[in-house]
Amino acid sequence: MVEWIARWFRRRGIRVAILSRGYGQEEGLNDEGRVLEENLPDVPHLQGADRVTLARIAVNEIETELIVLDDGFQHRRLARDVDLVLIDALEPFGLEYLFPRGLLREPIRALRRAGVVVLSRADLITPAERAAIRSTAESAAGPLHWVEARHAPLCLVDDQGITSPFDQLNDMAVAAFCGIGNPEGFRRTVAPLFRKLLDLRIFPDHHNYSAADVLGLERWANGLGANLVLTTQKDLVKLRASVLGLAPLRALRIGLEVTEGGAILDDVLARLAGDSRRGKPLEKEFS
């Protein structure tokens, strides 16, 4: 979603910067930051705990006209012109309890602060299930500007950033692995693309791969007889390898595709584009 929004504004000639907390960051950008850097080479990405300071740097030092704040719904020190909140169709309401009993950071009624709500991975559930999720959200938060989207597979990419189509490889025996927040979403995206998905191996989100992990993956892929090993871009930027065991290693590049409510999203972003051109303040610190 962050990449999709940044591209939307860049196509209109607006200077964009991305700010994020950088979860799991050790040195330089974290895994998500490196993926965005690879896919958006003309969009600066600043990471760190103090996002107010980062916002000042973006505006004052690199002349940013519009800031995209990644994972910022609960970050209240920075004022914002619009909040876009994503609901994962496969895990819509975090077991319906706040952390630590569930996965929610706020009650569902907090969605009333959202300018737009986007149901992601909407293609992986039925229309009735999509309607039920919207009904639950609006029962708690009132009427919402509702958009639906899917994670669309675009191409394969290697460790050098070279892309290739995946539709010519659907007969290959594929072993897949990932260390992301929703591995089931990755499995459901990959499975229809290849006739022989041998196995999916799952690691924790933001997993840093050790030499022992790599050796284990090589033995696993060789034992399965895989002739292609597939992972996510988020994982590949940490491994930076072109092969795993006897098989080539590739990441599946994913792009957001809006399937419903595209006019709603365009209208909201168009208003922001106009504000950025009029020099409206983009950052304000709350005491």
pLDDT over threshold 80, residue 287? no
Residue 285 is predicted with a pLDDT of 45
**240 within some domain:** yes
Question: Mind listing the pLDDT tens digit for each residue in 44-90?
Answer: 999 998 999 999 999 999 999 999 999 899 888 998 899 999 999 99
For the chain, percent of residues with pLDDT exceeding 70: 94
Q: What is the pTM of this model?
A: 0.89
Strand partners, 254: 153
Q: For position 178, which CATH number holds?
A: 3.40.50
Quick one: average pLDDT of 17-24?
A: 86
How much is the average pLDDT of 99-106?
Answer: 92
Residue 282: band (very low, low, confident or very high) from pLDDT cuts 50, 70, 90:
very low
User: 47-78 burial by CB neighbour count: b if 16+ within 10 A, else e?
Assistant: beeebeebbebbbeeeebbbbbbbebbeeeeb
Task: Identify the CA nearest to 230 among candidates 153, 125, 124, 122.
Answer: 153
Average pLDDT estimate for 2-28: 89
Encode pLDDT of 155-185 as tens digits: 999 999 999 998 877 889 999 999 999 999 9
Is 248 inside any structural domain?
yes
Give the residue-averaged pLDDT of 198-222: 96
Reported as a pLDDT band with limits 50, 70 and 90, residue 280 is: low
149: its two tokens: 């989207």
Close Cβ partners of 276 (under 8 Å, ≥ 6 residues apart): 9, 14, 65, 66, 282
Asked if the structure places residue 23 within a domain, the reply is no
What mean pLDDT comes out for the span 144-149?
98
Confidence at 26, pLDDT banded by 50, 70, 90: low
Tell whether 211 is covered by a domain: yes
Rounded CA-CA distance 102/121 in Å is 21
Q: Percent of the chain, pLDDT > 90?
A: 83
Asked whether the beta carbons of 22 and 47 are under 8 A apart, the reply is yes
Residue ranges making up the domain that contains 209: 152-255
Residue 94 lies in a domain: no
Residue 28 is classified by DSSP as S
Backbone φ and ψ of 225, nearest 5°: 75, 30
Q: What is the pLDDT of residue 188?
A: 94
Residue 176 lies in a domain: yes
**Structure-block tokens of residue 106:** 């706020």
Looking at residue 89, what is its pLDDT? 96
Domain count within the chain = 1
What is residue 284's predicted lDDT score, i.e. its pLDDT? Answer: 46
Of residues 196, 189, 192, 158, the one with CA closest to residue 174: 196
Any domain includes 132: no
Structural domain includes residue 55? no
Q: Mean pLDDT of all residues in the chain?
A: 92
Beta strand pairing call for 116-120 and 84-88: parallel
